[in-house]
Amino acid sequence: GAVVSQHPSWVICKSGTSVKIECRSLDFQATTMFWYRQFPKQSLMLMATSNEGSKATYEQGVEKDKFLINHASLTLSTLTVTSAHPEDSSFYICSARSQDSKNIQYFGAGTRLSVL
């Protein structure tokens, strides 16, 4: 149980285009999902908390208009990197919080974004 699917796993795009990343909880409902960014050899940097049916909560310094988050259902959250630039190239990982009170996060496989 507790499987989180993230798609795509790898994407290359041209500068100025937008990229959408999907995060799905396959066998449980996730009212809360999280989006992280990870640079090589570094820890996870939380970008935003995605809440089903409401606006995402962004961390300080993360541009809301740049990184659009939509959590339209209990099993799907999407992150759209708008007008991507080379500095947006990174490893983006989503996670879904367990339904019980333990607050354990189950991670997707991540998306490697390369902006040319």
Partner 1 sequence: GQQVMQIPQYQHVQEGEDFTTYCNSSTTLSNIQWYKQRPGGHPVFLIQLVKSGEVKKQKRLTFQFGEAKKNSSLHITATQTTDVGTYFCAGPHNQGGKLIFGQGTELSVKP
* Chain residues that interact with partner 1, rule: CB under 8 A: 32, 34, 41-44, 46, 49, 57, 93, 95, 97, 102-110
What is the C-alpha separation between 86 and 102, in angstroms, rounded?
38
Return the number of the residue (28 or 107) whose C-beta is nearest partner 1.
Answer: 107
Question: Shortest Cβ distance from residue 11 to partner 1 (Å)?
Answer: 16
Return the number of the residue (65 or 103) whose C-beta is nearest partner 1.
Answer: 103
Return the number of the residue (82 or 89) whose C-beta is nearest partner 1.
Answer: 89
Question: Shortest Cβ distance from residue 109 to partner 1 (Å)?
Answer: 5
Half-sphere exposure of 105 (CA within 13 A, CB side): 15
The answer for residues whose C-beta is within 8 angstroms of residue 91's C-beta and 6 or more apart is: 37, 38, 39, 40, 110, 111, 112, 113
